[in-house]
Chains A and B, each alone.
Chain A
Amino acid sequence: DAKTTQPNSMESNEEEPVHLPCNHSTISGTDYIHWYRQLPSQGPEYVIHGLTSNVNNRMASLAIAEDRKSSTLILHRATLRDAAVYYCILRSPYNAGNMLTFGGGTRLMVKP
């Protein structure tokens, strides 16, 4: 799987939008961009995924650059509960199985 690069940590104020960047310059044409997050003392949870078009769900939005070499996870109004480590992961549907390759992720701190 292609590699992703994320900042080690970011800080945000509560109720403000948060933009979490991810660089994936070696992404292949079939790689989907997945985001998971891990809240303290919990297992990771799925946030969102996309291929080319921007995606929205109840948790977040995913903005994908036109050349697909970068993407941004957007939390529209951060809450204290959003403090977590956010992982950007690339997966090809042609890879057999469900293996996820986690990088270091971005630790998001939310200030009240």
Chain B
Amino acid sequence: KAGVTQTPRYLIKTRGQQVTLSCSPISGHRSVSWYQQTPGQGLQFLFEYFSETQRNKGNFPGRFSGRQFSNSRSEMNVSTLELGDSALYLCASSWSTTEQFFGPGTRLTVL
């Protein structure tokens, strides 16, 4: 079974730009969650989508948004990028509340 895939794996943007990251969950998984990981703040929950609806949201500004498509693939968007948005963005999928499967992440660098 293929794992969670995230594209692109690496991305460099400049301040003020926007970026879209993509996540393809494991087949059959309807829940997709996004996390931001930085050296200073660690792993922080961004939001979760289930059957195309946002089910949970973390404490991030409105510049961070996401969506989920009918095939469970998900995208997250960050508008008006700031230097502090440089991070590893991780996507996780699951079919239950027991175990989440994480992708390898997208490393975003904002210059």
Q: Which residues of A contact B (CB under 8 A)?
A: 41-46, 49, 87, 91, 93, 96-105
Contact = CB atoms under 8 A, between A and B. Distances in A.
Contact of A43 (B48, B58, B94, B102): B102
B56 A96 contact: yes
A43 B34 CA distance: 11
Contacts of B35: 100, 102
Contacts of B42: 102-105
Contacts of A103: 42
B98 interface: yes
B103 interface: yes
Nearest to A46: B99
> Chain B binding site: helix, strand, loop or mixed by DSSP?
strand
A98 B100 contact: yes
B90 interface: yes
Interface in B19-63: 31, 33, 35, 42-45, 48, 50, 55-56, 58
A102 B43 contact: yes
Contacts of B94: 98
Contact of A45 (B50, B56, B102): B102
Interface of B: 4, 31, 33, 35, 42-45, 48, 50, 55-56, 58, 90, 92, 94, 97-105
Contacts of A44: 43, 90, 92, 100, 102
A90 B64 CA distance: 26
A96 B55 CA distance: 8
A97 B105 contact: no
B35 to A, nearest CB: 8
Nearest to A96: B55
A98 B90 contact: no
Contact of B56 (A43, A87, A99): A99
A41 B102 CA distance: 12
